[in-house]
Structure 1
Amino acid sequence: MTDRSSDIDVRAITDDEFADWQRALDTGFLTPPDITPEILEARRRQFVPGRLLGAFDAGRCVATFRSFEQEVTAVGGTPVRADAITSVTVSATHRRRGLLTRMMTRDLAAAKERGDVVATLIAAEYPIYGRYGFGAATTVAEWTIDVPRTGLDPRWAGPEDGGRVDLVDGEDVRKLGPELHERLRRTQPGVVSRDELWWQLHTGAVRFHATWKEPFYAVYRSAAGEAEGLVTYECDDTWGDAKQPLNTATVRRLIATTPAAERALWRYLCSIDWIVKVKSGRRAPDDLLPHLLPDPRSAAITTLADWLWVRLLDVVEAFRARTYEGTGALVLDVVDRQGLAGGRYLLDASPQGASVEPTSRAADLTLDMGELASLWLGDASAVRLAALGRVREERAGAARVADGLLRTSRRPWCPDVF
């Protein structure tokens, strides 16, 4: 077969090409291409000149790529500028022609030029993005709770701490949610920012798809009346043969800024009449959930997988932005096959702060950019990566020093998909 890759034009799309780009996007994600004019107009709100890329073969869009402004919370609570990557597809008719590489290379170069510190994405498939310097930086877990086995009192009527749980609607969520989320992301590494459109999409005010099922919303307020937690959930309609309700509540999102709020919202979900199972939705791998129940075994893990992937674009700023629980110094020799942020860096850190500078000193650890990203948010272990052959110790004991500096007491968590 003749290689026609050079005939394929990879470029930023124009507003007039947006509908064709959306058709290619839906095709890539196996979504029926039945977009109404109203939905197309709603999706057009995501169009930012220069941030939507397409590959065109004889005028037809055959690959898609989008990036947008984002912030991701570093260890310690500082928001870091991110180039969030999404909507990545290559049509099955045009794979293995370097189209993703061309789009990714262009986008990362533009992000570096803008001064973005990191790039982020949620990887649908594991093997794709490591070659571009991304590393899995957070893990996601999902539990299914067998409510009758929890040991909880089914007659529960509300929090025992003086707080309360109230049902609210989408309009209330658009008012309460943004401030709650901002409080969460000031304390939880890995959480990403949400703009106004995000809240509109997830409460049905703006719709990108023809079908929208209105969920239930509940908010926890402390005894002082302050909103400290919010859950969005939906329920099915399942009955047993003996006319017994066997319903499942599925959590779409649950955020809590205090342990009291987290406890109260899970307790509420397990107390709803007819609910015999609760699916937790995407949680941190060290979530409190199982041990909030009298019998933790009643919550079975159904998913445990990589989630947020990160690619460092500015090593110095990324490591200056985060905090450190230990004290020590490391020389990191970072290999970057894309040539964007590699080099040898001296990290000198303590709980009071860190200095990060290029250096010519002998390296303590040698690692690829993807492994560095996995360590940056505090989830990965340098000792474990060394055992896997993905980090090389140049000085004995350096991996343990890295773990003492970089690992965190609670694991990073990204509750969102984008």
Structure 2
Amino acid sequence: MNYRPLPEDRYDQFREYLNYAFNPESGPEVDDEDWDPAEQPGAMRGLFDGEDLLCVCRHYWFRTRVRGRWTEMPGLSAVASPPEHRRKGHVAAMLAESLAEYHDRGDFLTALWAFEHPFYAKYGWGLTTKYVSYECSPDVLDFARERVDDDAERAGEFRQVDADDHEELDAVLAADNEPYELALDRTEKWWRKRVFESWRKDPYAYAWERDGEIRGYLVYTVEKEGDGKQLAVRELAAVDDEAYRHCLRFLANHDSQVETVRIYGPERTDLFDRVRDPADVDCEVKPGPMVRLVDVPAAFEALDYGGADGDANVVRVSGEFTLAVTDPLAEWNDRTFRVAIDDGRATCDPADEIS
């Protein structure tokens, strides 16, 4: 078997594999010419047996923030295999080859959104975070209208935004993500192709701005839900509490159009503290993305153990221990390591190479 970048003459096959894996209800003949795999972010890969394409995936070249530092973190996505090639170990082989590619690049961390967590857990990925899904009637959010200043200039205004506004939106997202580890640094292409466009249906996007500055935004779709409609917010970001409240006001103002509002966001439950009756809000905690170490020694040595350099109020850690690692896909990790930490910095070496 051979793992390699997907040639251009296999792009239609890539799309067919993805459609069968993630959208089989649409049938084999999908009129989706507007969605060109080559125009999407990332890099397509395939596992071949001769000229037979066994399975495919896509790598996204993300950057993420870990303990205050930005580092490369490839994202693994679009893992798909047609039914005639399944249960033969091909996907596991492609995962191993993907990790080897990341290792050769010098990456120590990778992430993915799993279709099934146990499947990836057996190959070394683990749950890294959770998120919440709120659902309520838009009327439940009408509290957000009450504190709007009568001064129209102070209240700001909403406007529809598009991909050309990505730099301003990115600044809002960065402020919203500040409390969270593993926040992603989005590229312009990601904003254009993955936020403002979608494989199945492009979303709406609106921002709240004041004095010419965007301070909050929402990205959402409207879906049929039973006998009614639901406004599903896939992304809501705000620079402060005031902007967040105005975004909730925007949702409340859809009370004549939709029966329910669904909001996806970080694992926090403060909306219960804002509404008049928290029983009017359903809140479900769901598993988020999974992460995996690509290179154990590189991961230990990349992190800081005790705070930023020069911070006199932080005690910097020292000590040592051994760590036995079993890795089903990466032979360079499948061994015992000695980790030594001195003044907040670590070295990690194979224990069998230390005399």
TM range, normalised to the smaller chain? Answer: 0.7 to 0.9
Q: How does 1:360-371 map to 2 (within 5 A)?
A: none
Deviation sequence 1:201-241 (CA, Å, 0-9, x none):
2565xx564x53552x332335x55322111223357898x
Secondary structure of residue in 2 paired with 1:189: coil
Secondary structure of residue in 2 paired with 1:233: strand
Indicate yes or no: 2:184 matched with 1:198.
no
Secondary structure of residue in 1 paired with 2:118: coil
Matched with 2:62 is: 70
Residue 57 of structure 1: how far off its partner (Å): 5.1
How high is the TM-score relative to the length of structure 2? 0.79
Secondary structure of residue in 2 paired with 1:261: helix
Matched with 1:279 is: 262
Q: How does 1:94-243 map to 2 (within 5 A)?
A: 94-149=85-140, 152=143, 162-171=154-163, 173-202=165-194, 204=196, 209=199, 212-215=201-204, 217-222=205-210, 225-236=212-223
Deviation sequence 1:269-305 (CA, Å, 0-9, x none):
1243414422112x11125333232333322114x22
Matched with 2:325 is: 335
Which whole-Å CA distance do the structure 2 matches of 1:238 and 1:22 have between them?
28
Which whole-Å CA distance do the structure 2 matches of 1:154 and 1:199 have between them?
30
Matched with 2:39 is: 45
Which whole-Å CA distance do the structure 1 matches of 2:41 and 2:147 have between them?
48
Farther off after superposition, 19-28 or 135-144: 19-28
Farther off after superposition, 230-239 or 94-103: 230-239
Matched with 1:315 is: 299
| Contact 2:41/2:190, CA 8 A, preserved across alignment | no
Q: How does 1:341-352 map to 2 (within 5 A)?
A: 341=333, 343-347=337-341
Indicate yes or no: 2:348 matched with 1:358.
yes
Residue 67 of structure 1: how far off its partner (Å): 1.1
Query: Identity of aligned pairs, percent?
Result: 19
Which whole-Å CA distance do the structure 1 matches of 2:130 and 2:323 have between them?
26
| Contact 2:138/2:254, CA 8 A, preserved across alignment | no
Query: Structure 1 residues 334 and 199 mapped into 2: Cα distance closer, same or farther (>3 Å)?
Result: same
Q: How does 1:15-30 map to 2 (within 5 A)?
A: 15-30=8-23
Residue 36 of structure 1: how far off its partner (Å): 5.1
* Amino acid in structure 2 at the alignment position of 1:174: H
Which whole-Å CA distance do the structure 1 matches of 2:11 and 2:322 have between them?
43
Unaligned runs of 5+ in 2: 309-313
Residue 87 of structure 1: how far off its partner (Å): 0.7
Residue 44 of structure 1: how far off its partner (Å): 0.8
| Contact 1:75/1:322, CA 8 A, preserved across alignment | no
Which whole-Å CA distance do the structure 2 matches of 1:67 and 1:321 have between them?
30
Query: Structure 1 residues 276 and 14 mapped into 2: Cα distance closer, same or farther (>3 Å)?
Result: closer
Residue 129 of structure 1: how far off its partner (Å): 1.5
* Amino acid in structure 2 at the alignment position of 1:26: N
How high is the TM-score relative to the length of structure 1? 0.68
Which whole-Å CA distance do the structure 2 matches of 1:332 and 1:292 have between them?
48
| Contact 1:232/1:253, CA 8 A, preserved across alignment | yes
Farther off after superposition, 21-30 or 84-93: 21-30
| Contact 2:142/2:252, CA 8 A, preserved across alignment | no
Deviation sequence 1:148-186 (CA, Å, 0-9, x none):
456727677569993424122325643532332344445
Which whole-Å CA distance do the structure 1 matches of 2:275 and 2:184 have between them?
29
Secondary structure of residue in 2 paired with 1:127: helix
Unaligned runs of 5+ in 1: 1-7, 241-245, 362-418
* Amino acid in structure 1 at the alignment position of 2:84: T
Query: Structure 1 residues 220 and 95 mapped into 2: Cα distance closer, same or farther (>3 Å)?
Result: same
Farther off after superposition, 174-183 or 321-330: 321-330
Residue 251 of structure 1: how far off its partner (Å): 0.8
Deviation sequence 1:35-65 (CA, Å, 0-9, x none):
558435x3212486xx432234574423112
Matched with 1:301 is: 283
* Amino acid in structure 2 at the alignment position of 1:289: L
Which whole-Å CA distance do the structure 1 matches of 2:237 and 2:129 have between them?
17
